[in-house]
Structures are given as structure tokens and as C-alpha cells.
Amino acid sequence: MSEEDLEPLELDDENLDSFETIETVEELGLSEDSGLLEELEEDGAECEALGEAFNPPSWLTTSYEKMPEPIAIVDGSLSLTYLYQNPLFRKFLERYSLGAHRSLIASIWNQVDKSVVEALRQATHDPDSGFSWKGEIHIKTRDTLTALIKLHMYPFIEESGGRGGPRAFWIYLEDITAERQQLQRDYIDALLKASLQKDNDTGKHVTRVNRYSQHLAEALYNDGRWPRVDRDFIEDISYLAAMHDVGKIGISEAILYKPGPLNEQEWKEMREHPIIGALILSSYPIKMAQEIAKSHHEKWNGSGYPYNLSETNIPLSARIVTIADVYDALRMRRSYKPGFDHKVSVSRIADDAGTHFDPDLVGVFVAMAEDFRRIFDSNED
């Protein structure tokens, strides 16, 4: 949809019905502790003046009902009260539990930085901005993935009588979540391909570690004791777990491919790979990637590397990947060891609860370990 499509409609003021605006913070559905909300209360007279809106004509709303974008119309008050929402807009609000709010400001209040709310409110009442605003907002609940939305807002009905402000605004939402996620996945895939050129682990190993980590994170989500584990956490770890050994790109091939045990100096160099991995991923926008690369060799009792972190000082994502990585290492056959069966591998991890591994995570792992066996059996090298 081009900006040429967004020119204000010329409607006869006589056909515009008045609209009862929200006059109190309680009706707006917002908390009392915000300076902006206090300003909204103090500026009640301005809200009332700007809020003279209209009932959108039926021919217009009918045309919006089948539009492929979420579209809404709001009035000109500071609260930006909803006058109309098409089905896709209503569906979007319901998905993120925002449908109970009567205004745009109330809907996004707990989802975005308050500076964004202020910028939106000012732009839509500023002639220098064309009474328009366009920006990105993140919408999130525990049970849904974060949506990255571009919100476009333009004047719908120009104010008559020289008062200088729109009486209503036209909004549409552009979901760019999938586009952003694909760019992030492409970045990780490129790094993974590069790291596998040097590492003697196989692509099947990283695939399995991804899936183990995802299933363990889902078990933690269902358990409920780990509030940080939401749908975003599960989605992220399902592909970022593969980055645990990306730092081996910086380790010499003589060490990586050495058939026998490493000497002390070689081990010292090998223990640098978590730090190298964290540096490689330092600019990646999802912090979990760096956490996993840097801390997946730390141990619960503080005897791991590279920083001897202990207990919950080790990021949760890394504690999950540690269990996944060790389980797979135990199952895999190496030149220096046989592959252990599922039962022995689970037993060894259980024996190291509280020393190598987070004991609470081990408890969840043991309860759902059959998932690990199925993943290994269906993705063998």
C-alpha cells in the first residue's frame, strides 16, 4: 500500500457523529505512576476538544473488512481511542491479550518503551510531522513469540475550523517478524557452515543438540519454575544451541584433529574456544547466542571454564546446552572411546547433578530423557 493511498478523505462535517472520548486514567486502562498519564489527565480539556470524532461510514468499513492488513481507525484524542478495527486487527489484539483496551495507547502501553508512546502521541498532533507516525513496536506475551510490528499512522479526517489537528487517524500494522527472523537464521546458518568446516563434529551432532535443547526447554516451560523460559526462549535455543562450539573456528586444526589426548598447552588453547565464540557472536542481536558459546563448559560447582562460573551465575541457556552436549558426546562413538547406550548416558548425567550440572535441570532431564533417546536414534550419524 503506497503513501498516495493515505490522503485524507473529504467528508461533510454534517455527517460526522460525535464520539464519547475517554476522560479518566481508569477508563483508559493505564497505571497511575506515569508522567505521561498524569499529563493525559491534566489535558482532559484538550482530549475532549480533539476527540470529536465520527462513526466511520459503512461503505468504508466494509471495504476494510477484507483487507489483507490489520487496519484500525482511532480518534484524535491523546488516548487515540479506537473507532473501528477490521477482523485482522481484532485478531492481532486478541492474540496478544490486548483486545480489552479501548485505545491504542492503552494497548501498547506495557509493550513498548514510554519514549515510543510519547513520540507517537506528539507526532500525531504535530503539523511538522504531517500528523503522522511510523515506527517499530515489539509485542510479547509468555505464551507467544515476540511479534515485530511496523505501525503506520496517518491523518484520516482533517480538522475543520482552523483548529489544526486531525479528528481521526488511519492505522495499519505491518508484521515484519518473519523477515527479521529469517535474517537472523541466515546469519547463524552461515556461521555454522564455516565452523563445521573445521570442527570434527558432524552436522548431525549440532542438529541433535538443537533438538535436545529445545525439548528440555519445553519441559522447563511446562514445569513453570523457570519464568524466563517462554516461547521466545524455546524458539531461540532450538537453533542457537548449535553455536556452542562456533569458537573452534579460532583453534588450530592440529589440535582439533589430533587423534590422541591433548597436552597441557594444547588444552590451554582449546579452552579459549568459548571466549572466541563469544567474540564472534558479540554483535548478534539475541544475547542467548553469546551466552551459550561462552558458558557451555562452565560447571555447577565452579570447576568449569573459561571463567569458573558456578550455579545460577551460569546463564540458563548454557546450563541447558551443557546437558544436551554432554548427552550427545556420551552417545557418540569417538576414536578414543565407544558410544555409550542411552541408559548409561542418562545415569552418568544424573550422577553429576550438583557438580557438573544444575541439579534441578537434571531432575527435569531424567523425567523426559526418553525424548533424548528418540532424537538420537532418529538422527544417528
CATH number at residue 100: 3.30.450.20
What's the pLDDT tens digit per position in 119-129?
Answer: 888 888 888 88
Task: Give residue 157's pLDDT band: very low, low, confident or very high (50, 70, 90).
Answer: low
- Are 235 and 299 members of one domain? yes
What's the pLDDT tens digit per position in 240-293?
Answer: 999 999 999 999 988 988 887 899 999 999 999 999 999 999 999 999 999 999
- Are 162 and 242 members of one domain? no
Look up the pTM and report it: 0.76
Domain span at residue 147? 3-175
Q: Is 351's pLDDT higher than 80? A: yes
Q: What is the mean pLDDT of residues 26-43?
A: 44
Least confident of 147-151, 157-161, 244-248: 157-161
- Are 265 and 325 members of one domain? yes
Q: Is 49's pLDDT higher than 60? A: no
Q: Is 1's pLDDT higher than 70? A: no
CATH label of the domain that carries residue 326: 1.10.3210.10
- Are 139 and 185 members of one domain? no
**Strand, coil or helix: what is 77?**
coil
- Are 355 and 228 members of one domain? yes
Q: What is the percent of the chain with per-residue pLDDT over 70, rounded to a whole number?
A: 82
- The C-alpha cell at 72 is 484500525
- Are 200 and 185 members of one domain? yes
Alpha-helix runs per DSSP H in the chain: 25-28, 35-42, 44-50, 58-65, 87-95, 104-108, 114-123, 177-196, 203-223, 231-240, 253-256, 264-270, 273-280, 287-295, 316-331, 342-351, 359-367, 369-378
The confidence score (pLDDT) of residue 68 equals 87
Q: What strands, in cross-sheet order, belong to the sheet with 82-85?
A: 82-85, 71-75, 168-175, 144-157, 133-141
The confidence score (pLDDT) of residue 177 equals 87
The confidence score (pLDDT) of residue 258 equals 85
Residue finishing a domain among 110, 143, 175: 175
- Are 33 and 99 members of one domain? yes
264/16 Cα distance (integer angstroms): 82
The confidence score (pLDDT) of residue 121 equals 84
Residue finishing a domain among 150, 175, 200: 175
- Are 151 and 271 members of one domain? no
Residue finishing a domain among 145, 175, 205: 175
- The C-alpha cell at 232 is 521466545
The confidence score (pLDDT) of residue 16 equals 32
- Are 192 and 252 members of one domain? yes
Residue 317's nearest CA partner among 226, 207, 188 is 226
The confidence score (pLDDT) of residue 22 equals 34
Cβ–Cβ < 8 Å for 83, 53 = yes
- Are 56 and 101 members of one domain? yes
- Are 196 and 72 members of one domain? no
- Are 222 and 256 members of one domain? yes
> How many domains does one find in the chain?
2
The confidence score (pLDDT) of residue 32 equals 42
Q: Is 27's pLDDT higher than 70? A: no
